[in-house]
Amino acid sequence: MAGIEVTSLHKRYPDGTVAVEHVDLSIGDGELFVMLGPSGCGKTTTLRAMAGLERQTSGDIRIGRTLVNDLPPAERDIAMVFQFYALYPHLRTRDNLAFPLRAEGKPEKEVRERVAEVARMMQLERLLDRKPQRLSGGEQQRVALARALVRRPRAFLMDEPLTNLDAELRADVRTEIKHLQAELGTTMVYVTHDQVEAMSLGHRIAILNKGRVEQVGTPLEVYDRPATLFCAAFIGSPPMNLIQVQVAEGTLRGPGGLVLTPPDGLPRDRALVAGVRPEALEVTAPGAERTVPARVVSAEALGDEIIYVVDHGGANDVRVRMPPTIQFAADEQVGLRHAGGTPPVYDTSTEELVA
Ligand SMILES: Nc1ncnc2c1ncn2[C@@H]1O[C@H](COP(=O)(O)OP(=O)(O)OP(=O)(O)O)[C@@H](O)[C@H]1O
Ligand SMILES: [Mg+2]
């Protein structure tokens, strides 16, 4: 097992596309590290450079203490799982799982033991004697994952391995991956553009945008205090409301007189935006204490919650998360207030967190 150090990684493809710009990552030994970002932000390129499948333009990659820049993939001792997997169609599950071990020349007794163990962990025991065409898509994907996990590499690199699964199975396999990683204690770098997956899996998450790292933090850190406006708009569903504010007499004032509690150390001379989570706002009957007048634009009832889109005279409508018991209809006049807490505040020009 080993940590992974990426130092000033830069990748420019031959056609001139810059996919990764001076990325630094320090991934701990035994860590489940998630790289999250929108399509095209450089996730796969970074992962392929770690694996040795793509040569970086500049920068260093270390696995454990070894500088691996010049090592071919097979000598880096990592296992990689891709979004599109391929099982050997003529082999039964047990032989698909055994394949990487036999290729390494492991004794047959050890092969059988390891296959049995990984089949137990991935709940594939019933499926060991079936060939891929008699497995569902989700079962095939679990076999592909198990085939990577059967080896004991120094690190696992996974590129959106759950993309082809339906929502329920995704959640199941995600839980299995998390348990397995904890059980094996092997460093894992997991790439996804799905923030729910990132939040539920990662010990830490790196948020990438246009080839750069915008933030690295625990799921709670990136949720509570996004480092940039990009992260604020990317994490959360619906994401933070970005509300233009002014500092006034120890409070923050938004449009229509909405009052927020300011964090310490706010600069006074800059245009500021507060990041307010939908659950940190409330809609009430009009005229209630500390509210500003607002109008319901739409209400989306999701069963366990209602998401209100509310117009309170700001540049953008805000989204408010409420329990399903509080019901207002579209076009109804309501009161809007901040439910409490201190929102992170951003400088509009640098787009970075200031307090
Ligand atoms: N072989 C290539 N030649 C030129 N440009 C490439 C090549 N491969 C990727 N790119 C570009 O590099 C950028 C990063 O691509 P990459 O595949 O790393 O993104 P990604 O974050 O994995 O996206 P996705 O979520 O869609 O998989 C994109 O702009 C992409 O078009
Ligand atoms: Mg990709």
Ligand 1 atom, smallest distance to 46 CA: 18
What does DSSP say about strands 187-192 and 32-36: parallel, antiparallel, or unpaired? parallel
**Binding site membership of 40 for ligand 1 (Cβ less than 6 Å):** yes
pLDDT of residue 178: 92
**pTM attached to this predicted model:** 0.92
pLDDT band at 270 (very low <50, low <70, confident <90, very high): confident
* Percent of the chain surpassing pLDDT 70: 99
Q: How many Å lie between the centroid of ligand 2 and the Cα of residue 49?
A: 12
**Binding site membership of 261 for ligand 1 (Cβ less than 6 Å):** no
pLDDT of residue 162: 86
Ligand 1 atom, smallest distance to 160 CA: 27
Q: Among the listed ranges 103-107, 128-132, 167-171, which one has the minimum average pLDDT value?
A: 167-171
Ligand 1 atom, smallest distance to 193 CA: 25
For residues 249 and 216, the answer to whether their CB atoms sit within 8 Å is no
SS3 state at 314: coil
Residue predicted with more confidence, 10 or 153: 10
For a mutational test of ligand 1's pocket, the pick from 6, 20, 45, 163, i.e. the residue with the most ligand atoms closer than 8 A to its C-beta, is 45
Question: Whose CA is closest to atom 28 on ligand 1?
Answer: 40
What is 238-347's CATH superfamily?
A: Nucleic acid-binding proteins (2.40.50.140)
pLDDT band at 18 (very low <50, low <70, confident <90, very high): very high
Q: How many Å lie between the centroid of ligand 2 and the Cα of residue 207?
A: 14
Question: Whose CA is closest to atom 29 on ligand 1?
Answer: 40
Give yes or no for residue 206 having a pLDDT over 90.
yes
pLDDT band at 151 (very low <50, low <70, confident <90, very high): confident
Give me the residue spans of the domains in the chain. 4-230, 238-347
Give yes or no for residue 84 having a pLDDT over 70.
no
- Arithmetic mean of pLDDT over the chain: 93
Q: Among the listed ranges 3-7, 215-219, 269-273, 341-345, which one has the minimum average pLDDT value?
A: 269-273
Architecture of the domain defined by 4-230: 3-Layer(aba) Sandwich (3.40)
- Containing H/E element for 63? strand 58-63
Q: How many Å lie between the centroid of ligand 1 and the Cα of residue 160?
A: 14
Q: How many Å lie between the centroid of ligand 1 and the Cα of residue 264?
A: 40
Of 97, 80, 57, 96, the residue nearest 4 (C-alpha): 80
Span 44-65, mean pLDDT? 96
Ligand 1 atom, smallest distance to 18 CA: 12
pLDDT (tens digit per residue) in 222-243: 999 999 999 999 999 999 999 9
Q: How many Å lie between the centroid of ligand 2 and the Cα of residue 44?
A: 4
Q: Residue 164 carries which side chain, given as an amino acid letter?
A: N
d(CA 336, CA 313): 11
For residues 308 and 320, the answer to whether their CB atoms sit within 8 Å is yes
Q: Do domains 4-230 and 238-347 have the same CATH topology?
A: no
For residues 257 and 249, the answer to whether their CB atoms sit within 8 Å is no
pLDDT band at 173 (very low <50, low <70, confident <90, very high): confident
Span 247-261, mean pLDDT? 90
Q: How many Å lie between the centroid of ligand 1 and the Cα of residue 40?
A: 5
